[in-house]
Amino acid sequence: MHLLLSTLLAILIAAPSPALAEGKTPGEVREANAELTASPVNAAPANQALANPALANQGRAHPAMIVAPQHPLPDAPAPKRVIDKKFIAVMGALGGAESLRFTTHKLVLDNEFAAGAPWITSVPSNPHLVAKYGGIFAAELLVAYELKKPHDWLPGDRLIRKLWWAPPAILAIIHIKNGVRSMQTKGPGGCTSVAECEAQQ
């Protein structure tokens, strides 16, 4: 490591700068640069020196010291917002619909398990369900975000961005229907409570 640093330092010290090779001191180089940037009059001889190498030695400035004029950059296009009020409303509605479905389905499982239904052997724990369905909702959120985000390389991207809300809306309708169906769950004989089912037997 020390050998590498020593070699690099020796090369830097041994390599003369272009200004020192011409016999100019660093102070003269700074003065020439200050004159070039301060007065536009020196730009014309310097540009002529670039066009005609014979004039290069006659001008005060070396062609390598010419500062190119800086043009202002055009304004960058404003980035399109993906997460806006509509995105939050649609995905919030989907989250509420999924919560309705999963909550009502869990209540049905709890009640059937408590009633001794033979087809329910165990009820999943709440943390397990939250982790499982939270991951599913995160994936749906990511898909909706990617559908709404502009992709220049994707053919038909304009149409996809306009219809990004359709998959979450369809899923929300399905979840609401399933949640309502879970709330309307009835026993084998059409009974809606444990007492009513026992009376039918």
Report which of residues 174 and 45 the model is more confident about. Answer: 174
178/14: higher pLDDT: 178
- Whether the pLDDT of residue 193 is over 80: the answer is no
Query: Among all chains, which residue has been given the structure tokens 């982790």?
Result: 131
More confident residue, 172 or 79: 172
What is the per-residue pLDDT for 170? 96
pLDDT tens-digit profile of 66-96? Answer: 666 677 777 777 777 889 999 999 999 999 9
Task: List, for residues 13-41, the tens digit of each pLDDT value.
Answer: 655 555 444 555 555 555 655 555 554 44
Distance of CA 114 to the CA centre of its chain: 47
- 145-to-106, 130, 155, 168, 181 alpha-carbon distances in Å: 29, 22, 18, 11, 30
Q: For 185-201, what is the mean pLDDT?
A: 70
| DSSP class of 118 | T
Q: Which residues have C-beta within 8 Å of that of residue 46, sequence separation ≥ 6?
A: 36, 59, 61, 63, 65, 66
**Helix and strand numbers, DSSP H then E, in the chain:** 9, 0
d(CA 74, CA 124): 59
The residue with greater pLDDT, 179 or 14, is 179
Q: What would the DSSP string read from start to end of 125-152?
A: -HHHHHHHHHHHHHHHHHHHHHHHS--T
pLDDT at 116: 81
What confidence tier does 104 reach under pLDDT thresholds 50, 70, 90? very high
Rounded to the nearest integer, the mean pLDDT of the chain is 76
Q: What is the pLDDT of residues 107-163, one digit of tens each?
A: 988 988 888 878 888 888 989 999 999 999 999 999 999 999 988 888 888 898 899
Specify the DSSP element, H or E, that contains 96: helix 85-115
pLDDT band at 164 (very low <50, low <70, confident <90, very high): very high
Residue 63, phi then psi, degrees to nearest 5: -55, -30
- Rounded to two decimals, the pTM is 0.56
Q: Does pLDDT of 59 surpass 60?
A: no
Residue 118 vs residue 55, higher pLDDT: 118
